[in-house]
């Protein structure tokens, strides 16, 4: 009998074989289509009118109909559809239970009550659909999902000649920045020293690349790596079809030797994926390791619906934290903002602030830790100063050259004048003879 982790890994590998071009670790397309077309799109606890409305909205988003004119055209991704499905299902239940409305468009007539409902959500006074005593987190994201659906409803009704007021104008869709764990490269080495070999390679790869995990990471093949024999490091190609934003080529300066050895030991071929362990399994391992070595996160027991106690964790180390810590590591080492954005696959500069605003190493890093970078900066300054001195010397030499040219011109003029005076008596004789 296979254990839970073995089953997860088996399912993951089966997905790899079935779809080699791009692997979806979350199985978003498969899960959504199964829910929508095989199970008949069940919306438990939702009125028939709301169910019809929600399905119309999701079907439009799936084909790219009636989308906002200020966002990307075309169909929404399956991860987006799954996200919307979950949140609008919650909204239908919330509005039904809290406002007594079984058809979402009728909220237009109770705008003030709806704003009071938003405040209750923000204050943690409303439980989730699971009814396990948990309240909603990420209320801003939940609100954005409602805004998206309401604006879609406005566009649909406008085509029918019906005007619907925008009741979402006064709603704040912002969220507090989610918790993330920051660690330095020294702390990473501490964890690597205690980690299993395969996880050690994975952790160094995540920190070096700052790659999105698990989506981009689990799509990296051996053929995406190009070894430089001269510089002894890999260049990684993150293919456009596997990236959330755009494809890119980045140098692996921290993990190349370890990664090369790993590929050799595992006897991986060019068309094989490098990291195949299921992301849930990886995160569970990282949570335990991070807690043991760095004291990150906390573990506790929680009683489920079946009455049994389950082990849970909060704010533990995950693969997502490696992207944050990697951004903090590379930020002072890149000379330009555009180069840093390229490495991490960001289109907007605000992402740099988002990922590094809690830059712990600003206060905790030691001077010797940045010795190479400080020395490099000083060397650059010295070179710049020398360059200024050379420029000044060149300008002085050019000035001297101009003076020399002027002196030469004067000397030539004097020589011509002297020759003219010497030839003057002969000129007089010739004129007399003539």
Q: Are residues 241 and 293 in the same domain?
A: yes
Q: What is the pTM of this model?
A: 0.71
263 lies in the same domain as 384:
no
Q: Pseudo-torsion of CA 242, 243, 249, 254, nearest 10°?
A: -100
Which CATH number goes with the domain that contains 194? 1.10.443.10
Whether residues 214 and 321 fall in one domain: yes
Let me know whether 414 and 356 are in one domain: no
| pLDDT over threshold 50, residue 335 | yes
Q: How many domains does the chain have?
A: 3
Q: Sheet holding 233-238: strands in order across?
A: 225-228, 233-238, 248-252
Report the Cα–Cα distance between both ends of the chain, in Å, rounded.
132
**Angle between helices 197-209 and 319-330 in degrees, nearest 10:** 50
Residues 6+ apart with CB under 8 A from 358: 177, 180, 182
Let me know whether 49 and 101 are in one domain.
Answer: yes
pLDDT at 360 over 70: no
Which residue, among 288, 203, 216, has the nearest Cα to 5 in the 3D structure? Answer: 288
| Residue 335, in any domain of the structure | yes
pLDDT at 1: 35
Contact 281, 9 (CB under 8 A): yes
Return the structure tokens found at 143: 């609100």
pLDDT (0 to 100) of residue 309: 79
| 28 and 74 fall within a common domain | yes
* pLDDT (tens digit per residue) in 1-24: 344 444 444 444 444 443 445 788
Q: Is residue 250 in a domain? A: yes
pLDDT at 131: 58
CA 170/CA 167 separation, integer angstroms: 7
Model pLDDT for residues 258-276, shown as the tens digit of each residue: 999 999 999 999 999 999 9
Which of 77, 79, 78, 120 lies closest to 97, judged by CA? 120
Q: Which residue range is the domain that position 219 belongs to? A: 185-365
Boundary residue ending a domain (311, 334, 365) = 365
- Per residue in 199-253, pLDDT (tens digit) is 999 999 999 999 999 999 999 999 999 999 999 999 999 999 999 999 999 999 9
For 74-90, the pLDDT digits (tens) are 999 999 999 999 999 99
361 & 395 share domain: no
Give the pLDDT confidence score for residue 16 in this predicted structure. 44
């Amino acid at each position: 009998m296979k254990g839970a982790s073995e089953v997860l890994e088996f399912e993951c590998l089966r997905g790899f074989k079935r779809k080699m071009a791009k692997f979806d670790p979350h199985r978003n397309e498969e899960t959504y289509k199964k829910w929508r077309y095989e199970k008949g799109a069940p919306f438990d606890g939702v009125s028939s009118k709301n169910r019809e409305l929600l399905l119309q909205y999701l079907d439009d988003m799936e084909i790219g109909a009636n989308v906002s004119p200020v966002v990307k055209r075309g169909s929404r991704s399956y991860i987006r559809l799954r996200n919307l499905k979950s949140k609008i299902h919650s909204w239908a239940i919330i509005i039904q239970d809290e406002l007594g409305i079984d058809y979402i468009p009728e909220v237009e007539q109770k705008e003030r009550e709806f704003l009071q409902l938003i405040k209750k959500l923000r204050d943690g006074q409303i439980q989730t659909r699971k009814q396990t005593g948990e309240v909603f987190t990420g209320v801003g994201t939940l609100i954005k999902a409602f805004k998206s659906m309401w604006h879609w409803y406005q566009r649909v009704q406008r085509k029918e000649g019906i005007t619907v007021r925008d009741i979402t104008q006064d709603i704040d869709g912002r969220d507090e920045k989610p918790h993330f764990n920051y660690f330095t490269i020294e702390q990473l080495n501490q964890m690597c020293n205690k980690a299993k070999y395969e996880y050690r390679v994975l952790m160094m790869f995540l920190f070096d690349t700052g790659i999105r995990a698990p989506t981009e990471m689990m799509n990296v093949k051996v053929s995406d790596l190009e070894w430089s024999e001269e510089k002894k490091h890999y260049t990684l190609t993150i293919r456009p079809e596997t990236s959330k934003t755009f494809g890119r080529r980045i140098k692996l300066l921290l993990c190349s030797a370890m990664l090369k050895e790993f590929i050799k030991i595992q006897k991986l071929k060019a068309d094989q994926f490098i990291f195949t362990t299921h992301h849930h399994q990886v995160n569970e391992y990282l949570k335990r390791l991070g807690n043991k070595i760095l004291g990150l996160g906390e573990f506790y027991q929680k009683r489920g619906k079946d009455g049994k106690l389950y082990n849970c964790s909060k704010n533990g180390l995950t693969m997502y934290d490696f992207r944050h810590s990697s951004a903090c590591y590379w930020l002072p080492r890149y000379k330009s903002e555009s180069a840093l954005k390229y490495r991490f696959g960001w289109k907007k500069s605000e992402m740099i602030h988002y990922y590094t605003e809690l830059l712990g190493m600003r206060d905790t890093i030691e001077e010797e830790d940045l010795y190479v970078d400080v020395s490099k900066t000083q060397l650059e300054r010295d070179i710049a100063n020398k360059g200024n001195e050379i420029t000044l010397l060149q300008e002085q030499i050019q000035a001297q050259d101009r003076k020399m040219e002027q002196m030469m011109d004067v000397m030539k003029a004097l020589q011509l004048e002297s020759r003219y005076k010497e030839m003057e008596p002969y000129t007089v004789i010739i004129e007399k003879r003539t």
